[in-house]
């Protein structure tokens, strides 16, 4: 029976309890879905939740063994959002290594490309794990069955709802309409029922609903746990809810949500690079994956390994986007030594080439959220408020030391003047987001939601067409669904 299901069910989204082992990638700390279904314990619920975080990490080979073509060596978000944009190139020195990445860069990819295939697989594998955990945690008798406390149950449920919303955010923004699966799939018939694309409006509604549940379940504090600050927090749920409202153009809801983040204790770090070099001691990072060296199971930052092989380089256009003396340029990349400082978490090349590095992967930080608020204010006519936030971001940048430790000269990054021209302010915002958030997996998503991706990509000499507003559904998923999944137009 196991072989039969593997042949015809969607490998990325379906797991039939008792028929497929899903969490057998690590010898320690992981469980199979069969074990979780038969013997729910507090430890298993914790392990399912932790295993769901893993799909966000930069750990190498979570879902395969050096499956480059399948997009499974590492989470492909840098490829899908940064290399696909006008910010990043595949390598510092072009060669023939992993040309499927160049297909993303120049928009010649097809539905069999490893980028969208990998992203789809990562997201739905995590959702499978989360659905199993949530189903058990929702059991009204789970406390008596397992001995878990009400506080502990609420904590895990809040984390699971947040994580599921994060993975669905990735899916809906990259693929549009996608299968919306919110329970474990346990039978042959159920598998075909869920292998259909739900309208994106329903996916967005589920994302927001999960985030509200998450917010209300997690502790009303900056961190969910003082000893495990890596766990999803109320602030993370509020921030992703604000981002979801932004992406669905519910502008009026965004400012108040962002304001709740400062009430929880989040603020801009005094120095820009503290976001990337400190771990849970700064003021700004809202959600990050806690990479650790020599952990069991492994949880090191494997993306530092391909950095040592020459991958991930800035485009000339990205480097030229910085204003004179902007310290964020040298803090993001060291061109002379071919180091991407942000991704390494260091300014001296430390961690480069290390496949088990300790530096964290940052997913949400306060500067990003402030710029969401500025965008929402601009869209609703509060031009002064929008400009004030842009200038707040610029002030922090010009008062941060560059990579050489020297402060920028006077006159660097002057404040934007007062303006009531929405288009001009929007242009300032677009520029500020690019240099503030470069190499943080934001650029392509920004260009698409602003409706300027085709214009910007064509100007950069890339063959971006209307169909590229969405990535293709992986062809293998369409074939194994027996036609119940449909392809995005143009692929």
Q: What pLDDT, on a 0 to 100 scale, did the predictor assign at position 20? A: 36
Q: What pLDDT, on a 0 to 100 scale, did the predictor assign at position 106? A: 97
CA pair distance 124, 122, nearest whole angstrom:
6
Asked whether residue 417 is assigned to any structural domain, the reply reads: yes
Query: What's the domain count of the chain?
Result: 2
Its pTM surpasses 0.75: yes
- 329 and 431 belong to one structural domain: yes
- 142 and 243 belong to one structural domain: no
Asked whether residue 487 is assigned to any structural domain, the reply reads: no
- 254 and 377 belong to one structural domain: yes
Give φ, ψ of 211 to 5 degrees: -70, -35
- 227 and 326 belong to one structural domain: yes
For the purposes of burial, counting CB atoms within 10 Å of the CB of 152, is it exposed (0-12), middle (13-18) or buried (19 or more)? Answer: middle
Q: What pLDDT, on a 0 to 100 scale, did the predictor assign at position 38? A: 64
- 419 and 282 belong to one structural domain: yes
- 169 and 237 belong to one structural domain: no
Q: What pLDDT, on a 0 to 100 scale, did the predictor assign at position 7? A: 34
- 191 and 275 belong to one structural domain: no
pLDDT along the chain (491 residues), means of 10: 36 41 34 59 91 96 95 96 98 95 97 97 96 94 95 97 98 98 84 89 98 98 95 98 98 98 98 96 96 95 98 98 98 98 98 98 98 98 98 98 98 98 98 98 98 98 97 93 92 96
- 391 and 434 belong to one structural domain: yes
- 192 and 136 belong to one structural domain: yes
* Last residue within a domain, chosen from 146, 167, 198: 198
Q: Pick the closest to residue 373 from 267, 263, 250, 254 (CA basis).
A: 254
Q: ∠ CA 15-17-21 to the nearest 5 degrees?
A: 65
Asked whether residue 440 is assigned to any structural domain, the reply reads: yes
* Last residue within a domain, chosen from 145, 164, 198: 198
Q: What pLDDT, on a 0 to 100 scale, did the predictor assign at position 6? A: 34
- 139 and 275 belong to one structural domain: no
Q: What pLDDT, on a 0 to 100 scale, did the predictor assign at position 190? A: 81
Q: What pLDDT, on a 0 to 100 scale, did the predictor assign at position 191? A: 76
Asked whether residue 323 is assigned to any structural domain, the reply reads: yes
For the purposes of burial, counting CB atoms within 10 Å of the CB of 473, is it exposed (0-12), middle (13-18) or buried (19 or more)? Answer: buried
Residue 16 domain boundaries:
1-67+114-198
Q: Domain containing 386 — which CATH number?
A: 1.25.40.390
């Amino acid at each position: 029976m196991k072989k039969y299901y593997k042949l015809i069910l969607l490998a990325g989204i379906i797991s039939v309890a008792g028929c497929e082992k899903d969490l057998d990638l690590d010898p320690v700390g992981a469980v199979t879905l069969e074990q979780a279904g038969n013997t729910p314990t507090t430890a298993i619920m914790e392990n399912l939740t932790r295993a769901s975080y893993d799909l966000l990490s930069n750990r190498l080979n979570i879902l395969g063994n050096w499956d480059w073509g399948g997009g499974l060596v590492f989470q492909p978000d840098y490829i899908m959002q940064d290399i696909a944009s006008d910010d990043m190139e595949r390598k510092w020195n072009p060669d023939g290594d992993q040309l499927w990445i160049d297909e993303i860069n120049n928009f010649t990819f097809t539905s069999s490309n490893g980028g969208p295939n990998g992203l789809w697989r990562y997201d739905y594998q995590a959702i499978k794990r989360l659905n199993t955990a949530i189903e058990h945690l929702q059991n009204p008798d789970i406390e008596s069955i397992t001995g878990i406390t009400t506080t502990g149950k609420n904590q895990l449920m809040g984390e699971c709802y947040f994580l599921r919303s994060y993975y669905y955010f990735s899916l809906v923004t990259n693929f549009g309409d996608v299968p919306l699966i919110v329970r474990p799939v346990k039978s042959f018939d159920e598998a075909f029922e869920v292998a259909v694309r739900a309208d994106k409006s329903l996916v967005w509604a589920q994302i927001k609903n999960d985030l509200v549940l998450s917010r209300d379940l997690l502790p009303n504090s900056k961190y969910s746990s003082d000893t495990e600050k890596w766990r999803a927090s109320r602030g993370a749920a509020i921030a992703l809810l604000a981002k979801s409202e932004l992406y669905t153009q519910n502008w009026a809801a965004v400012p108040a949500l962002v304001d709740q983040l400062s009430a929880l204790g989040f603020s801009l770090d005094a120095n820009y690079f503290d976001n990337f070099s400190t771990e849970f001691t700064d003021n700004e990072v809202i959600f990050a994956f806690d990479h650790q060296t020599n952990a069991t199971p492994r949880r090191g930052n494997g993306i530092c390994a391909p950095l040592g092989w020459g991958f991930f380089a800035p485009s000339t256009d990205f480097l030229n986007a910085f204003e004179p003396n902007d310290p964020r340029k040298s803090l993001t990349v060291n061109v002379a030594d071919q180091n991407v400082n942000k991704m390494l978490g260091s300014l001296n090349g430390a961690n480069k080439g290390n496949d088990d590095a300790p530096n964290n992967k940052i997913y949400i930080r306060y500067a990003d959220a402030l710029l969401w608020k500025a965008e929402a204010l601009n869209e609703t006519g509060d031009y002064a408020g929008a400009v004030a936030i842009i200038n707040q971001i610029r002030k922090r940048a010009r008062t941060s030391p560059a990579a050489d430790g020297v402060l920028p000269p006077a006159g660097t990054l002057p404040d934007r003047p007062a303006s009531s021209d929405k288009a001009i302010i929007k242009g300032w915002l677009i520029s500020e987001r690019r240099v503030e958030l470069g190499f943080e997996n934001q650029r392509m998503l920004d260009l698409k939601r602003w409706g300027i991706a085709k214009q910007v990509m064509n100007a950069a000499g890339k063959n971006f067409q209307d169909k590229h507003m969405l990535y293709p559904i992986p062809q293998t998923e369409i074939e194994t669904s027996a036609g119940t999944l449909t392809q995005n137009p143009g692929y």
